[in-house]
Structure 1
Amino acid sequence: MLTRRNWVLRLSIVLNLVVLFYFGTHIASRNGGSDFIEELQAEGRSLALEMAEETEDSRKLRDVLSPSSPSVHTASQPQGTTSVSGGKSVRASTTVATSTERKVPSVALLPVSSALKAEPPIEHTLQELIPCNDRKRESRTAQRGDYWVLYNYVQAEYQPHCWETLTYTTHADYTFLDNLEPLLERWQGPVSLALYAPGTDFILTLNTIRYLRNCGSNLVSRFVTFHIYFPSKHLPKQIPKGNKILEEHFNCSNPPPWLNSTLAVYKSQKKLLYPVNVGRNIARESAVTYYILPSDIELYPSPGLIPDFLAMIQRQDPPLLHKNPKVFALSIFELETNMSLPANKKELVSMVKNGSAIPFHKKVCPNCHNVPKAREWLNADSSNKALQVFHIGKRTGYFVHWEPIFIGTHQDPLYDERLSWEGKSDKMTQGYTLCVLDYEFQILDNAFLVHKPGIKTLKKDPARAVLAGKTNALISKIIFPELKVLYGTRKGCAV
């Protein structure tokens, strides 16, 4: 503080000298006042000498005075002097008095406080902070391995800039589309949805899209872009153009297609596996925004997540400036059947305390979704606080098999498309890659996901257990060795 005060006073004195020299020169040029100029020059040399002495003495004075000691006592200064940090004084008022006698207009000395005024902080826009280029959605048909994909088959009306919002990217077949409207009510933003529709399931999928667009919430037509994919060996008999399917209206007096239990699902009839990661990657790659939330359609986000997250990005909180690659992980919970969805963290914590909500998959695979500092997250008082990074976790140690769901970008690793939902462990290989690349999992406070009400319990499924065994063998013998060649290894990282 003392050093800062010294420099402020020096600056004030120099500026006062400049002002006085200016007026003195002006008087001299008009009245021939050479004596006055000489007097000003003498005063200037005196002040310069005093400042030089002060510079030498200030170091010694800092060793004597403590921060709490009064360095200047203006009341005891003799009349006609100006205090300078360190107890020295200069005859600044002499020059002013002389100027007054010669009828020079009085000039107010520069106040010391003006030198302390800081520049206002520069507030960057989201467009400046988020490095991306806009891209337009285009409907196209393309092969993806053993699958045909109808990209952007039915498009949302809303076409955002890449920096102005987030996209929820997800996957499903038509039997899960009852989750779309409750998800949208809380998300209120773009959704990129990949639908698996082999064989005759394709017609039922089209009818479901018609139902949602004609009979449901207008949020569907505004925000949801549908992509459809199916195996090359199970093509639909006919595929209309995407811009034509909505010309045929769904009769809204009929129940939604997912409630018609008399219709057999083609996938089940043919005993096809659900290629979950193919759908995840289609939805992710088709999103037009920089930030994306790859998730499952039964997981509903906390309200206000999009504007709260973008506000955090615009604030540029310190964790966001870390050089490591990063994603923003969300805590996930399950609710008892028929429970209302929590509107905020306070309501969620209350439900956890009374047992109507539990951490996600607690009764199925607790290690898969055991979030670092989960107990502290629940106990932290987050009332009236903005969305922020609560803790930075790693996928190592006790959390080596954590399957985080997070807000990320298009630069993050994709999911291995050889893995199916029935075989389990479908996100484990991506988790390993993130670990090896030394990603930070910046766990968000005041944001979360809740599963569609109904707590899952572990049930024996011999057929699925066989598939899980085959998947584990595929990972350990083929995929994991590939990843070690492609990305290397890191201590503590495992599949």
Structure 2
Amino acid sequence: MFLRSRHTLGKCFICLFLVILAVNFWLSPRKPSYRLKDFEKLRFPLQQNGEYWIYQDFIRAESHNVGYNQSITLTSHGTYRDLRNLEWLNVRWEAPISLAVFVFQNDFKKVMARLNYLRYCTVTRSSFRRWVSVHLVIPQNHVPVNLRNIDASGSFGSLCRVPFETPRRQDSFLLKTHTRYPSSLLKNVARWNAKTYYTFNLELDILPTKHLAKNFMQFIKHQSLRQPLKSVFCLPIFEQPMDITIFPRSKSDLRASFEGSLWEKTSQEKDIHLWLNSQGKDDEVGIYQLTHESRFCEAHIGINSHLPFYDQQSDDYPFLNNNLQLQLLVGLKFDFVILDGVFLIRRRTVQTQLLYRNTFAPKKLNQVGNLMKLNSLVLWPETE
């Protein structure tokens, strides 16, 4: 009898315990259960920067996991009008490209038409899909309501018609609306999204020699620099002459065409001739000169994490933006390593920037000293 009562009492305690657990479960706040797909939707890659919104990785390159120290990321920027230059660039540049595109609300269809044409319809379409990542920079008053639903994947179908037209000054939306083109922000966005140790900021109308990234990485492995973290590698730029449609592939080709007086005269003509007549081998990257001067350095390769970002206060006068950056590098006592055997060619094409860059009056650049102090603190804090 006693054992039977103990058994009954034990059952009662167990039942009471289960009832308490059930009540506690129903009364406690429930945590939402997200599927992985839903979680990814919540993490929409949109960030604010001042009066602009940035859509990171609107298009992600198939090779976005390329080794950190195995290549160079070419960083660039433009509007939908400048995307025509990507086809030429994909022929010459076989490495990651991080591209920031400035977009107005009414430009999305045009942007998508041009991007899908490049991704699915051109000879270089496989190169585009493999290497090019696209990031959108949108003015805050032009963010589409349905931005989350805009599909970057596109389709083949009827998209394979040439969607490019020759840009005209009077057609520029930037001019009509007196809108600022945030060139510094766009350059910074492209660099923020670079996944490699070295980056190469270049305008879309400038073409490098073929295999530059591969040849540079082979070259840098065998170099012992005086200031490895404070060195930039400079490439001379040649303007495309009016009567040249086939671009020189090597330094020998360039020298031959230059001696025929086909190339545009520059203020650095003497330096150009000295560089052309140096003993560097074709397609083999070497050092022509190491200097503290920024000549030949309008375009340069550098370590992304140790280069100052572009000053976004200077966007009112983008024509002087690169000069300010070079002044900053000189002030920070960088070494300028002028490369031999490789070069750049600026194609004769109309860029969006050229349609409006003269509409803003340049201001005095008084902030170089402050930028030097701040960048020294950020980039090399252990030396302060």
1:183 matches 2:89 = yes
In the aligned structure 2, how far is the partner of 1:141 from the partner of 1:420? 22
In the aligned structure 2, how far is the partner of 1:326 from the partner of 1:207? 40
1:204 matches 2:120 = no
Shift of 1:415: 0.8
Shift of 1:486: 3.4
RCO higher in structure (CA 8 A, sep ≥6): 2
In the aligned structure 2, how far is the partner of 1:466 from the partner of 1:144? 24
The 5 A counterparts of 1:282-297 are: 282-297=189-204
Q: Equivalent residue for 1:378? A: 276
Shift of 1:385: 7.4
The 5 A counterparts of 1:94-133 are: none
After superposition, the Cα gap between the structure-2 partners of 1:465 and 1:296, relative to the gap in structure 1 and judged at 3 Å, is closer
Letter in structure 1 aligned against 2:277: N
Q: Equivalent residue for 1:472? A: 363
Q: Equivalent residue for 1:340? A: 246
Shift of 1:386: 2.8
- Maintained 8 Å contact 2:85/2:205: yes
**SS class of match (1:420):** helix
Letter in structure 2 aligned against 1:274: Y
**SS class of match (2:203):** coil
Long gaps (5+) in structure 2: 1-42, 377-384
- Maintained 8 Å contact 2:117/2:161: no
1:226 to 125, 129, 134: 134
The 5 A counterparts of 1:240-251 are: 240-241=148-149, 244-249=151-156, 251=158
Shift of 1:270: 1.7
Long gaps (5+) in structure 1: 1-137, 489-495
- Maintained 8 Å contact 1:207/1:257: no
Shift of 1:347: 0.6
Cα shift readout 1:432-491 (whole Å, capped 9, x = no counterpart)? 2211211001000011110114699xx9x9x865623xx323x23xx2353365369xxx
In the aligned structure 2, how far is the partner of 1:347 from the partner of 1:376? 16
Q: Equivalent residue for 2:45? A: 140
Q: Equivalent residue for 2:59? A: 154
| Aligned-CA RMSD value | 3.0
**SS class of match (2:144):** coil
- Maintained 8 Å contact 2:229/2:303: no
Cα shift readout 1:65-101 (whole Å, capped 9, x = no counterpart)? xxxxxxxxxxxxxxxxxxxxxxxxxxxxxxxxxxxxx
1:239 matches 2:127 = no
In the aligned structure 1, how far is the partner of 2:178 from the partner of 2:157? 29
Q: Equivalent residue for 2:370? A: 482
Higher radius of gyration, 1 or 2 = 1
The normalised TM-score by structure 1 is 0.60
- Maintained 8 Å contact 1:210/1:250: no
1:390 matches 2:285 = no
In the aligned structure 2, how far is the partner of 1:172 from the partner of 1:260? 13
Q: Equivalent residue for 1:166? A: 72
Letter in structure 1 aligned against 2:284: A
In the aligned structure 1, how far is the partner of 2:56 from the partner of 2:269? 34
Shift of 1:314: 1.8
After superposition, the Cα gap between the structure-2 partners of 1:424 and 1:239, relative to the gap in structure 1 and judged at 3 Å, is same
The 5 A counterparts of 1:348-359 are: 348-358=254-264
In the aligned structure 2, how far is the partner of 1:335 from the partner of 1:207? 28
- Maintained 8 Å contact 2:116/2:159: no
Shift of 1:212: 1.1
Letter in structure 2 aligned against 1:184: N
Q: Equivalent residue for 1:330? A: 235
- Maintained 8 Å contact 1:332/1:451: yes
- Maintained 8 Å contact 1:147/1:231: yes
- Maintained 8 Å contact 1:211/1:252: yes
Percent of residue pairs identical: 24
1:428 to 323, 330, 348: 323
1:311 matches 2:222 = no
- Maintained 8 Å contact 1:156/1:221: yes
After superposition, the Cα gap between the structure-2 partners of 1:163 and 1:281, relative to the gap in structure 1 and judged at 3 Å, is same
Shift of 1:375: 3.0
Question: What is the number of equivalent residue pairs in this alignment?
Answer: 326
Letter in structure 1 aligned against 2:134: F
In the aligned structure 2, how far is the partner of 1:272 from the partner of 1:454? 22
Q: Equivalent residue for 1:4? A: none
Cα shift readout 1:109-155 (whole Å, capped 9, x = no counterpart)? xxxxxxxxxxxxxxxxxxxxxxxxxxxxx971101122100011111
After superposition, the Cα gap between the structure-2 partners of 1:153 and 1:346, relative to the gap in structure 1 and judged at 3 Å, is same
